[in-house]
Chain A
Amino acid sequence: AIRMTQSPSSLSASTGDRVTITCRASQGISSYLAWYQQKPGKAPNLLIYAASTLQSGVPSRFSGSGSGTDFTLTISCLQSEDFATYYCQQYYSYPQTFGQGTKVEIK
């Protein structure tokens, strides 16, 4: 199985900050990567697919980049509603696997 490793596991940031989360695959996955946001007690919400394509309705402050094994999710100007846990997911091969998550907390 392809292992997805996110870093950091958690971070503290302030409203208005630029935040970057990285996701590394244990083998190449081309651009078959998605990013999700999850708030406590809620289902995940798709932000980015195909590594860099913004899902419909997602604010443009979210962006994704990368291909192969190294990927990033960037939030350009953190808003209060962005404090949540973020997960990457590879869908290059089965079993589809998620990263362990990155919790973005208020500084």
Chain B
Amino acid sequence: EVQLVESGGGLVQPGGSLRLSCVASGFTFSNYWMSWVRQAPGKGLEWVANIKHDGNEKYCVDSVKGRFTISRDNAKNSLYLQMNSLRAEDTAVYYCARKLYGSGSLDYWGQGTLVTVSS
């Protein structure tokens, strides 16, 4: 059974940092592109970042460029999102998701981890 379990969310002050983790199981993690998607409270979905299966290609939305870094450790079946210089508008549930093989759609999602940026 495919499982994605996020952790690392919490309350952080504006300007602070957090590192989100996502541990994958039930599939060969190193074969898949992975994504982070976020959802602000009561709002819609926003794609944040993608990373290729070998970590050699990364893409992110303009609003987080220079502040967030996506990475992965295939030996640990883990995906990460390092978030620096956090702003109130980064407050959201962050989901880790697997890209369907051969497609850009997202076929498995974690349960999400809440990041709250507030003083």
Checking B37, B44, B45, B59 against A94 with a beta-carbon cut-off of 8 angstroms, the contacting residue is B59
Chain A residues, CB < 8 A from B45: 36, 38, 44, 87, 89, 98, 101
Q: How far is the CA of A91 from the CA of B112 in the complex (A)?
A: 21
Q: How far is the CA of A89 from the CA of B107 in the complex (A)?
A: 13
Q: Type the 1/0 row for A31-71, where 1 means its CB is closer than 8 Å to any CB of B.
A: 01010101000011110011000010000000000000000
Q: How far is the CA of A39 from the CA of B95 in the complex (A)?
A: 15
A98 adjacent to B47 (CB under 8 Å): yes
Q: How far is the CA of A36 from the CA of B39 in the complex (A)?
A: 14
B111 adjacent to A95 (CB under 8 Å): no
From B110, which residue of chain A is reached at the shortest CB distance?
A43
Answer whether A49 and B105 are a contact pair too, CB < 8 Å, given A43-B112, A95-B47, A96-B50.
yes
Q: How far is the CA of A101 from the CA of B44 in the complex (A)?
A: 6
Q: Type the 1/0 row for A82-106, where 1 means its CB is closer than 8 Å to any CB of B.
A: 0000010101101111111100000
From B46, which residue of chain A is reached at the shortest CB distance?
A98
Name B's A-contacting residues (CB within 8 A).
Answer: 37, 44-47, 50, 59-62, 95, 97, 100, 103-107, 109-112
Total A-B pairs, Cβ < 8 A: 63
Q: How far is the CA of A91 from the CA of B46 in the complex (A)?
A: 13
From A56, which residue of chain B is reached at the shortest CB distance?
B107
What would be 30 A-B contacts, judged by CB atoms less than 8 Å apart? A32-B104, A34-B104, A34-B106, A36-B45, A38-B45, A43-B97, A43-B109, A43-B111, A44-B37, A46-B106, A46-B107, A49-B103, A49-B105, A50-B103, A87-B45, A89-B45, A89-B47, A89-B105, A91-B103, A91-B104, A92-B104, A95-B47, A95-B60, A95-B61, A96-B47, A96-B50, A97-B47, A98-B44, A100-B44, A101-B45
Among the interface residues A36, A43, A89, A95, which one has the most CB atoms of the partner chain B within 10 A? Answer: A43
Q: How far is the CA of A96 from the CA of B112 in the complex (A)?
A: 19
Chain A residues, CB < 8 A from B105: 34, 46, 49-50, 55, 89, 91
B62 adjacent to A95 (CB under 8 Å): yes
- Top-3 shortest CB links A-B: A91-B104, A34-B105, A43-B109
Q: How far is the CA of A97 from the CA of B35 in the complex (A)?
A: 13
